[in-house]
Amino acid sequence: MSQDKKSFFDFTSPFDLERQIEIFHKSHKDQFFVPKDDKFKMKTLVLQRNYLIKYNQKRTSQKYFNITNALLEIVSHPKMGLGISLTKNGGNFTFYGVVEQWFSQMKKWCIQPNFSKDYKIVSLIGQGSFAKVFKIQRICDMKEFAVKVFDKSILKSQDRRALLKEIELLRLMNHKNVVTIQETYENDQYIYLVQELYQGGELHKELKRSRTFSERGAYLIVQQVVEALIYVHSHGILHRDIKPENIILKEEGIIDQVVLADFGLADYYRKDCKYMFTRCGTPGYVAPELLQDKIYDHKIDVYSCGVLLYYLLVGKGPFDSNNYDLTVKANFNGHVDLAKFNFTNECLDLLRGMLDPNPLNRFTFDQVKQSQFFKRHNFTQNQVSSSTSLGSINYQSDTQVFSPQQSPYLEHRNLNEQKSRFVQYSSPLYSPMRLNSPNLSPLNGPQQKSPNLPRVPIQI
């Protein structure tokens, strides 16, 4: 990106600071040559995620650099060899030495300027209102990835804030069942988000072919989503948009290798419930307290995960309707009638616990994992192959007995209510909050163009 143009990622936080900071044992630590007064001095540097620390064992306070969204470049010196240059908010820090491993660790948090030097585009695999998704090859080793390309000229102020928040959250992710960012590039016109390429497509497309799953098949998928959400919640983040369109299969037909995607509506949990998008999500999947403008917490993801389990077993959602208003109204009330289904006692118990409209009584994810349904299928899973194909799953229901018993609710928490004054809009990164609207996978999908639908709020 040319120096005379302002970066999309500019912000006012200082580049370098000095304060007391803990040094973790597993952090990268090495010595490098740092230029100072036309000379080079040996300095010990420590890399802890998005912080580069100038370590001095004799000092209690350490000088460090916040490298988030810094411009990252490999540089060369005739005597020192290769080095790393970091530039942010008018400041620069450069160091020389054996930097290859450090560069690979830093690029997740920083911005690089020359996408076309590192990757070549293979094909267009998806297109939405704000971004195009391409299959790409890394030039150095020909490994394939996906890249999401945003045109900066069409992103408005609110769109910019939402994209910056999503990039921030995705960089924190490091779990086999959660999507993340490999690296980020920027030039004068575009933002490039490089991500892993998943070949299996979206779960909802498999549901169109298979219609329903057996209880064991549904467990294999939901168990991975639960583990993904436990990890996401451990970072203090709410996902807020759990649905089949946002579950990606790593390989076609393999359901025990899925990834939770689309963090466009995700945000850090706040006790006061003052989020960038407060009333948001997909009608038919969101927890009722979110639609009721009440303060909510991590249990909204439990409810949505319960709707996902229901969808896998039944072939449609509990609130599905051809009428948008009816869907929102039913979702607002949040009551799901399970009396007509002949699922096993364990399955019914779990569905009741996850889909309880009262968040005080709703299961936590710990309770979900301790449920008899999970325990039974976890025992079975340990006795079968590690890669389960769709063809090996019986799509008819398991042996089923109706249980009239209600789930044992173990947790009761106080939850204050607060009315929201405004109806918030969905993320600009993905399809609008509209019933049955196309939703482009953030990683992979068929070559198609989603209609340019206006973004609409959930309205009741």
Contact 279, 421 (CB under 8 A): no
- Is 208 annotated to bind a ligand? Reply is no
Alpha-carbon distances of 368 from 80, 97, 225, 381, 405, rounded to whole Å:
56, 50, 12, 17, 17
* 156, burial (CB in 10 Å: exposed 0-12, middle 13-18, buried 19+): exposed
CA distance 243 to 320: 13
Whole-number Å distance between alpha carbons of 333 and 329: 7
Phi first, then psi, for residue 43 (nearest 5°) are -130, 145
Dist. CA 452–CA 440, nearest whole Å: 12
Comparing CA positions, the residue from 209, 435, 412 lying closest to residue 299 is 412
Q: What's the CA gap between 33 and 43, in Å, rounded?
A: 6
* DSSP letter (8 states) at residue 427: P
The answer to whether 241 is a known catalytic residue is yes
CA atoms 227, 354, 300, 252: torsion sign? positive
Per-residue tokens: 3:
């120096």
Q: Are 434 and 324 in contact (CB under 8 A)?
A: yes
**Residue whose tokens read 């057996």:** 214
Please tell me the distance from the alpha carbon of residue 282 to that of residue 259, in angstroms, as a whole number: 19
For 371, how many CA atoms within 13 A lie in the half-sphere containing its CB? 29
- Measured at the CA of 147, the angle between CA 144 and CA 153, to 5 degrees, comes to 160
Looking at residue 9, its amino acid is F
Integer Cα distance of 337 and 344 in angstroms: 15
Considering 241, 256, 267, 356, which one is annotated as catalytic? 241
Q: Bridge-partner residues for 32, per DSSP?
A: 43
Q: Which residues are catalytic?
A: 241
Annotated binding site for ATP: 156
Annotated binding site: 156
